[in-house]
Structure 1
């Protein structure tokens, strides 16, 4: 699990609910099935309108990415590229062909295959950059979905409140239940604002951050592959890769890559 996602959600909910209790409120007063349906289903409907069905099927995947932690192999990519650079310098680019099966990362394997096949360096760079751009476009669907939900949710909450007040104004003769009905009407606004600021927008931010981290990793790999193809010194390649990732030299003199990544 992604601890920060879970921890942030727990802290946010605790702060709101505990603060409500300290003010003398009762948690039961915050429960309302009709407002919940209006806000959640209304937000979902409005959001679904703006996204293709093909992409909507990725909703479980987007949630899994936001709520699970991933080890995406930036350190492995770093050391493997350094190894490829050293081997290519000593034995030539064709010697790397036997290493292809050991590469688990698809982007790295495709890039190295282009290099081994003798593809022009500019063409190799363009192909790999296109793959990065396509990936970013794919990620934007998930980010946009939750950002849109965060925008619609408060509005649907207001709609729910207005509908509740309409019901209240239609029953003014029952003065004993008037205060409770008005309070219940505002639950929809509470749901709309809370869902937007505690769930939808934070998830969009997390997806955006992880997407940026994946791009960082792929750009590092791209720089490494182009450097290998051009026959640059392995030391220069190391320095190029380190510009993409934070590192701390350990006691053995090897860099410990500190940046988290996402694939």
Structure 2
């Protein structure tokens, strides 16, 4: 679980709500018509802009902003170096028995191709295609959440215009001015909250997770290709350690 995402959102929302409470209270900021315009309008537009299957997958992937088990780069490199040692000692076919220890499907696919004696160019092509399609899927999922960053404020502006029109049409009735003004102001407020305090942090964290996963795939690809070519395990380790900052580089052979 990503504690940073949860704690950050809780702090942000708690401070905003607290500022409302110590001001005029939360009650004046609750307006059901404004809520319907912004929330209902935003959800409807996002649904209209995306195929339903893409929308469902994109919204499900948003959970990665909160529920995510990071994979250690150092542990991955250590595993790949161990594979290189075993392949060097017992032959690359010996890695077939390691398949049950590989939780990542990308790594499993690459090692399986190498064990099967697939040509290096074919292995690289297959894995790079897998990598590129993963990036496209991530970008599509991030875009679904990103729609709310643009749509929610726009729906807030629409609500503001609706409220202003209603207010101007009822200037002679003082009792009608207050509710109309509430719609005019609160829709902008709601749209800003959704865009900046929900959609933006989630989409940003999804981008970070995507970059982290891409980095891991790059390490896997480099390791698989080095193992397939029969590189010395020390060389494999040096190649893979290049993906880490100098302060995090370790050697199993020291």
Please give the TM-score of this superposition, normalised by the length of structure 2: 0.90
**Offset, 1:115:** 0.5
**Offset, 1:209:** 0.6
Determine helix, strand or coil for the equivalent of 1:72. coil
Structure 2 spans left out of the alignment, 5+ residues: none
Alignment of 1:113-262 (within 5 A): 113-176=112-175, 178-179=177-178, 181-246=180-245, 248=248
* Alpha-carbon distance in structure 2 between the residues aligned to 1:183 and 1:95: 71
Higher share in helix? 2
Gap change, CA 1:106 and 1:244, over 3 Å in 2? same
Corresponding residue of 2:17: 17
**Offset, 1:68:** 1.3
Moved more, 227-236 or 178-187: 178-187
Deviations 1:186-223 (A, max 9, x none): 00000001110111121111111101100100110000
Q: 2:41 touches 2:155 (CA, 8 Å); kept in 1?
A: yes
Gap change, CA 1:43 and 1:114, over 3 Å in 2? same
RMSD after superposition: 2.1
Please give the TM-score of this superposition, normalised by the length of structure 1: 0.88
Deviations 1:161-194 (A, max 9, x none): 1112222222222225534641442000000011
Q: 2:149 touches 2:200 (CA, 8 Å); kept in 1?
A: yes
Moved more, 217-226 or 54-63: 54-63
* Alpha-carbon distance in structure 1 between the residues aligned to 2:242 and 2:8: 30
Structure 1 spans left out of the alignment, 5+ residues: 256-263
Q: 2:114 touches 2:228 (CA, 8 Å); kept in 1?
A: yes
Aligned residues: 252
Deviations 1:129-168 (A, max 9, x none): 1101111111111110111210111110010111122222
**Offset, 1:53:** 2.0
Q: 2:149 touches 2:195 (CA, 8 Å); kept in 1?
A: yes
Corresponding residue of 1:72: 71
Determine helix, strand or coil for the equivalent of 1:206. helix
Corresponding residue of 1:4: 4
* Alpha-carbon distance in structure 2 between the residues aligned to 1:116 and 1:81: 14
Corresponding residue of 1:98: 97
